[in-house]
A and B are shown apart, each in its own frame.
Chain A
């Protein structure tokens, strides 16, 4: 291959040379080049080697269908496995050819990525002749239009055709169309943007490359989430190769690609050119290259070529060989010639082999309309024998095809087809509206004058040329050059008994590479159908899956990374906790203070200190994350009776009750307190993690089962801060904070609630204890949260008040045998299993879960029950998550009798301890067992779950 840059022509900017390196060698291209064109311009035609056979690979195309020229980019933005044909040349670009696998750079991705939503009446995908026509028609009619194209500028093949449009180069017409589109306020044109997926209801995803080609502070790439009412797909077509021996050699290129390199990039891809074709379209490139000075021979499989083409060839000095085929390309690392054979080889005379020298072999086996998006939109395809490719069946409403995508035969037809598609879209838009739309259904559009010489048909259907003997074994006729899949491989698959194209694909890996079979798929289907003796239509093709072209993980993740991966929820007092050295625990989306270490303290030391304060003096916790649901209405009591296992409606105003909720299958779902503020007004608390789901649970029952109940449920979790004030001295602290509140035992008994002014803030005090100690839960509006907290710390200061976190909270509650839903339960635990049978009403006719308790499985003696565990040696920690076994003689496998669900050290008990779910646990109280974990084996005694203050004496202080 002796590609070279011409002195004139093309749309590159010769005044802006761009240095770059490829494979460690320095080169220079020009602004407007792609990596592929710059390399060709520098005479480089060979890339990496093939994945399985290590054969040399070159440049096959000039676009997104590239099957061969894979590169690894190392700088400026390292990225694995890109196409040389779609990388814009930028200063400092460093790349290398690739063999099989890309490399992920280990440096962090500095790129910024974002997404935009857009709504439009018409989306036009592809800004070639058809797409521009469609966009113009719709824009002139007043419709909102988004026109997107993956190229750097609009125009599509207009930029490459030698044919004139209205007497001028196509690029001029395209530029004028763009200029006009830019005058419409309701039209948006997005270049460097690829539509890669179509989903329901006109939802189209596109990726815009925003700053790879320029130095910019803009986001690197952007996802467009487009919701459109109508779509015109003017996605063009991919030229199809022909399979013959050595068809993978560098220097073999799609015919149209050579024209693109010539017209846009002023690169003549070869001097001695053979064009191997089955149709008229390849004559365009043949003429163009001949005019640029190349010596051109056209080999056409068809026995007859039109008189116009013959005379054109004669004028251009092009030799034609009709009724012939290339049966082999010659050369080792690049094509040096071709071996021809008469075609279809049925001539009476013995086949005469002809060898021609060449440094560039162009092929055209016809064109495949690009129907990936159409197929994704569940449009159906059929095989068209006259065009030898898959085409769309009747367009689906809302999705219109135009131009080559619609298999419209030539450029003139594409202009007309685009306009027609837009009009159809406008008509459907109008029909879908009850009111007259903002746009008309028609607008003036004059089809430009073009003289088309090169139409899609007549075409001869040719998939693969039989190999001459010397090239037959091993077979070097490649159907999929990226996967090194040969014709023989396909035949081996059918010979193995496979008859489904999906099987053949999986057997051979055909079409599974980066190009997803864009150019090889139809040929593969053709060869396999022929081998099976069935029609291509009957065999079908494999399914098109999104995305149309590869899309980086990073842009799909967008901004939802790091802190924004999931919202961080913090309480109103969070800043104080941070300022005072708290460490935090993730509980759902919340950050909760875990413990507050003093200098030199570890978790154990801090928790011991915090626990001691709560049990001996006074301590406080930020409990604001507790779920809080305000339930109001005349039927609120009756409703809560159904939700909770215990009776709620009997609760007196001003009182609080602990309650358990079950799912209908009788397993504990959540627990908390119910506070009755008025006959028709309750505050319900939930566990931190279940706050949202319990509100949803309430709404579900209220709306779908008992709509007659007059109840409203509202989340008020974030409206209030909740501060448990805990410990024997808590009453004294509260008395200071709320001087008007009678805090005496008689006036404010356990499980009562009182409105109060606390530190000057209107709020509510509940006498609830999750520690067993005398305790008050202070509730004030969230905005006053920090003020209250600071007031609590100040009032408690003389008493040695100590803030504590979730770890201490857990120790305190575990000492009392209070389970944590989700820690001491796992969805298989009933209230009875937890020892909460007392909270299950026997009076109520029904509540959610009640019926399930009547199943025999609930009475089994080996149900797992919540019990306490004490180590025989109190200084030995019981490992969290340990399994319980009956013998210290551990063998694998070995039966288990339960597991440790919570394990801590207790200052109050002066011992380690645990809660555990144990089969028949309550009957085992007093028995010895062994807690086994990876780390240790600890002998334990089964005990009641309540290990501290079992008589409940401390709650009143």
Chain B
């Protein structure tokens, strides 16, 4: 029988993606980091804010950091006003992004369930749902039966160790295909004249009279009117080149996939108490995030006992997964701030802009921060949606504490 498997065919990439130019000697804006954030920032600068003389410098291959390693969950149901503000802006951009970029992103608004397992989880969940609604974010509380309706494979038996008491549900949340997103931005930016320079590591920032004027790279000196840092897990290292100390710690975060399976899991499920977040990607593989290794690490790998624990948690919630197979594990580097919220904005050095500390929120925030960070660079002042995420909040104490908030931070 000569048939193809439904859902297993994913759209082809276009015949041409991007130019591979040699770096010019000077740009209006140099963006350090060719991940999702750097590419999106370049794209929005060029498409919305009229700056096209831009280089994106990437020390490896484009989109090869956390963009290539994350579990692609997109949602905006964060507790605090500031967080839901930026993530909801991002989600709205996601909703028009395929058209905007002219690229298939496999953006699938299949909804996200955040499970509650204790009475306190229930209280926290309802609080967040209500806050989301009043912030204009779609959200609802569903009971255990409602969870079962949305995702029939979740075990809602009261006999499990931590029974599912209900969940918050964001229907507009979902997943997208990470490489497609990075490449969509890269191709569009390249088309708009942005130079994407790979295998180009920034080794120094040149600062004269309190103003950044260029970068030193493994491919030589490049002058820059403005420099924007978007180096994710390596932000501490890059910012240190400008003498900026960041309250970041870089941790290994692991993820894994199963073999390709017939559709079984229609939505995205996350659980804080039984630490799981899982979706089934378009080709059919289960994509699952594991825990963060507690220690600092740049190794893009983690310890296996974390994977084993993850499997226990997965089967606890999804007994049907018992027979699935672990096909591949990998690690990324998450840069975590003390309040689990990002740091975005201007710095004390003129012309130097900062975007880091996204922890596990980087992928879903890509369009939102790309746009607002680009606006910030173009206007030389923080976009209103990112004002709360300034570096100086750690001195004033005005944190945006998503640790304290019960939302699963992924």
State how many residues of chain B have any CB contact under 8 Å with chain A: 89
* Bound-complex Cα distance A55 to B4 (A): 9
Q: Is the CB of B18 within 8 A of A53?
A: no
Residue B293 lies at the interface, judged by CB distance under 8 Å to chain A: no
Q: Is the CB of A899 within 8 A of B127?
A: yes
Q: Is the CB of A561 within 8 A of B316?
A: yes
* Bound-complex Cα distance A496 to B183 (A): 11
Q: Are A934 and B324 CB-contacts (below 8 A) given A556-B311, A823-B123?
A: no
Residue A858 lies at the interface, judged by CB distance under 8 Å to chain B: yes
Residue A856 lies at the interface, judged by CB distance under 8 Å to chain B: yes
A553: min CB distance to chain B, Å: 5
A interface, CB within 8 angstroms of B: 49, 51-56, 78-81, 99-106, 108-109, 111, 197, 199, 203, 205, 223, 492-493, 495-500, 502-503, 506-507, 509, 513-514, 516, 545-547, 550-554, 556-558, 560-563, 565-566, 568, 585-587, 665-667, 822-823, 826-828, 852, 855-858, 879-883, 885, 890, 892-896, 899-901, 932-934
Interface members, chain B 131-148 (any A CB < 8 Å) = 131, 133-136, 140-141
Instruction: Please pick, from A547, A587, A901, the residue contacting B123 in the complex, using a CB distance under 8 A.
Output: A901
A896: min CB distance to chain B, Å: 5
Q: Is the CB of B134 within 8 A of A893?
A: yes
Q: Are A552 and B397 CB-contacts (below 8 A) given A103-B262, A514-B259, A823-B123?
A: no
Instruction: Please pick, from A78, A104, A665, A896, the residue contacting B261 in the complex, using a CB distance under 8 A.
Output: A104
Q: Are A197 and B304 CB-contacts (below 8 A) given A54-B4, A506-B179, A883-B131?
A: yes
Q: Are A557 and B315 CB-contacts (below 8 A) given A500-B64, A552-B324, A901-B123?
A: yes
Residue B379 lies at the interface, judged by CB distance under 8 Å to chain A: no
Interface stretch, picked from B114-122, B351-359, B365-373, is B114-122
Residue B319 lies at the interface, judged by CB distance under 8 Å to chain A: yes
* Bound-complex Cα distance A558 to B316 (A): 12
Taking CB as reference atom, which chain A residue is nearest B129?
A: A934
Q: Are A103 and B16 CB-contacts (below 8 A) given A551-B325, A565-B161?
A: no
Taking CB as reference atom, which chain B residue is nearest A205?
A: B304
Given contact pairs A102-B259, A880-B126, enumerate 6 new A-B contacts (beta carbons under 8 Å): A507-B13, A553-B258, A556-B308, A585-B118, A858-B397, A934-B133
Residues of B within 8 A of A557 (CB): 308, 311-312, 314-315, 322
Taking CB as reference atom, which chain A residue is nearest B124?
A: A881
Residues of A within 8 A of B9 (CB): 51-52
Residues of A within 8 A of B17 (CB): 496-498
Q: Is the CB of B319 within 8 A of A108?
A: yes
A-B interface pairs (CB < 8 A), number? 262
Residues of B within 8 A of A893 (CB): 134-136
Q: Is the CB of B320 within 8 A of A106?
A: yes
* Bound-complex Cα distance A883 to B304 (A): 42
Residues of A within 8 A of B312 (CB): 556-558, 560-561, 565
Taking CB as reference atom, which chain B residue is nearest A198?
A: B304
Q: Is the CB of B260 within 8 A of A100?
A: yes
Q: Is the CB of B5 within 8 A of A101?
A: yes
Residues of B within 8 A of A827 (CB): 401, 403-405
Residues of A within 8 A of B16 (CB): 495-497
Q: Is the CB of B134 within 8 A of A894?
A: yes
Q: Is the CB of B15 within 8 A of A495?
A: yes
Q: Is the CB of A497 within 8 A of B398?
A: no
Interface members, chain B 310-342 (any A CB < 8 Å) = 311-316, 319-330
Residues of B within 8 A of A551 (CB): 325-326
Residue B408 lies at the interface, judged by CB distance under 8 Å to chain A: no
B290: min CB distance to chain A, Å: 11
* Bound-complex Cα distance A899 to B321 (A): 38
Residues of B within 8 A of A105 (CB): 320, 323
Taking CB as reference atom, which chain A residue is nearest B310?
A: A556
Q: Is the CB of A104 within 8 A of B321?
A: yes
Residues of A within 8 A of B324 (CB): 80, 104, 552-553
* Bound-complex Cα distance A51 to B126 (A): 43
Instruction: Please pick, from B62, B162, B404, B406, the residue contacting A586 in the complex, using a CB distance under 8 A.
Output: B162
Q: Are A565 and B313 CB-contacts (below 8 A) given A51-B4, A496-B15, A880-B122?
A: yes
Residues of A within 8 A of B3 (CB): 49, 54, 99
B316: min CB distance to chain A, Å: 5
Q: Is the CB of B136 within 8 A of A823?
A: no
Q: Is the CB of A100 within 8 A of B130?
A: no
Q: Is the CB of A101 within 8 A of B130?
A: no
Q: Is the CB of A52 within 8 A of B4?
A: yes
* Bound-complex Cα distance A64 to B258 (A): 17
Residues of A within 8 A of B362 (CB): none
* Bound-complex Cα distance A199 to B328 (A): 15
Instruction: Please pick, from B179, B283, B304, B321, the residue contacting A553 in the complex, using a CB distance under 8 A.
Output: B321
Q: Output the residue of B130, B309, B327 with the most chain A CB within 10 A.
A: B130
Residue B396 lies at the interface, judged by CB distance under 8 Å to chain A: yes
